[in-house]
């Protein structure tokens, strides 16, 4: 029986690329999303790999719908081995011009959807003592940027929830892995359908990466569990800047206001916040001409820990050498025989 993977938001962009990557690797795949037309298209495309596919229409902000999807997947495809929480939404506008309802909806779709998906997966994985849950996050969960306050806040919340749950699984000796994958700017259709009240078309600042790179990192974290994965040099740079010089990172992030908006003026866009935008969109967005095509530019927390450990080891060796030198008896000065 093929291993079973679930991908929420699996009919476009990173989610669709991830579903393809799983199916190409011999996994049975369930995709959970809202738009019936894109679900049907994704199901047809994934079935070409020769493994069972299940497409489920559900709003991942609805916990009952997520639970029902998990139960159906277990019945029709088999035991869930991997669950990828990928669905999200955002509102592009200054923080004080975003409505309470918009904050609530972004929180539901971007944070609570990951909570609901994680809990649904755990109900089955915990009893079998195996499985992998992947939280698809963003560099903006480490270093927030202007014009997307609800999204940044929701992604920060995902990290807190995941860290707390990981501690509980360790305490209970449950062998289910939890990984957070931090993404850079990616060439996906999201930039075409986010709710936008700025009057300018949303723009992806350089460097822009391939959704398939993100899919490689996600599947790697399933098959080689890691606490965290950073995709793209910009995600790593954001993490380093926030850790080393947060005030400087604030000023740098402030300049991202204009970098996120093009000169093209547009009317207000309702986007996909409450309802899906219809139509086939595929994996790629409109920035293909600027997209980095690398498939291996991601770093895991294990790599980071080894690097930090190496530096710490060198520092300790230096301190030990200095301590030895300080305690070594000094030789008496030799008499001056030049006189």
Active site residues: 151
The long-range contacts involving 330-333, CB below 8 angstroms and separated by at least 24 positions, are none
Count the alpha carbons within 13 Å of 163 in the hemisphere toward its beta carbon: 7
Give dist(CA 133, CA 125) in Å, integer. 9
User: Length of the chain, please?
Assistant: 339
If one counts every other C-beta atom within 10 angstroms of the C-beta of residue 306, the result is: 11
Q: Is 122 left (phi over 0), alpha (psi -120 to 50) or beta?
A: alpha
Say which DSSP state 31 is in.
E
Q: What is the Cα 338 distance to its own chain's centre?
A: 73
Query: Alpha helices, DSSP H only, in the chain?
Result: 13-24, 36-47, 63-76, 100-106, 113-128, 149-172, 190-193, 211-223, 232-244, 246-254, 256-259, 301-327
Tokens of 242: 């926030």
Of 94, 169, 181, 102, the closest CA to residue 135 belongs to 181
């Amino acid at each position: 029986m093929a291993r079973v993977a679930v991908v929420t938001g699996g009919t476009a962009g990173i989610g669709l690329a991830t579903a393809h990557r799983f199916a190409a690797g011999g996994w049975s795949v369930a995709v959970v999303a809202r738009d019936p037309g894109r679900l049907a298209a994704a199901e047809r495309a994934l079935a070409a790999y020769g493994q069972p596919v299940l497409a489920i229409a559900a709003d991942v902000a609805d916990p009952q719908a997520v639970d029902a999807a998990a139960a159906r997947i277990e019945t029709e495809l088999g035991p869930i081995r991997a669950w990828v929480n990928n669905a999200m939404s955002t509102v592009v506008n200054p923080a004080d011009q975003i409505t309470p309802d918009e904050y609530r909806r972004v929180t539901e779709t971007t944070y609570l959807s990951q909570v609901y998906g994680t809990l649904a997966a755990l109900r089955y994985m915990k009893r079998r003592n195996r499985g992998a849950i992947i939280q698809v996050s963003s560099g903006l969960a480490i270093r927030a940027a202007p014009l997307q306050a609800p999204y940044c806040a929701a992604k920060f919340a995902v990290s807190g929830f995941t860290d707390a749950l990981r501690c509980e699984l360790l305490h209970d000796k449950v062998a289910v892995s939890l990984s957070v994958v931090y993404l850079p700017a990616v060439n996906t259709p999201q930039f075409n359908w986010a709710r936008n009240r700025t009057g300018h078309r949303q723009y992806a600042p350089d460097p822009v990466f391939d959704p398939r790179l993100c899919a490689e990192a996600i599947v790697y974290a399933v098959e080689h569990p890691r606490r965290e994965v950073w995709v793209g040099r910009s995600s790593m740079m954001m993490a380093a800047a926030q850790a080393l010089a947060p005030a400087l990172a604030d000023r740098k992030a402030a300049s991202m206001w204009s970098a996120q908006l093009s000169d093209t003026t547009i009317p207000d866009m309702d986007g996909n916040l409450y309802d899906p935008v219809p139509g086939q969109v595929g994996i790629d967005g409109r920035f293909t001409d600027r997209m980095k095509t690398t498939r291996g530019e991601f770093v895991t927390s294990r790599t980071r820990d080894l690097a930090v450990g190496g530096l710490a080891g060198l520092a300790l060796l230096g301190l030990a050498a200095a301590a030895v030198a300080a305690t070594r008896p000094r030789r008496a000065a030799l008499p001056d025989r030049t006189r």
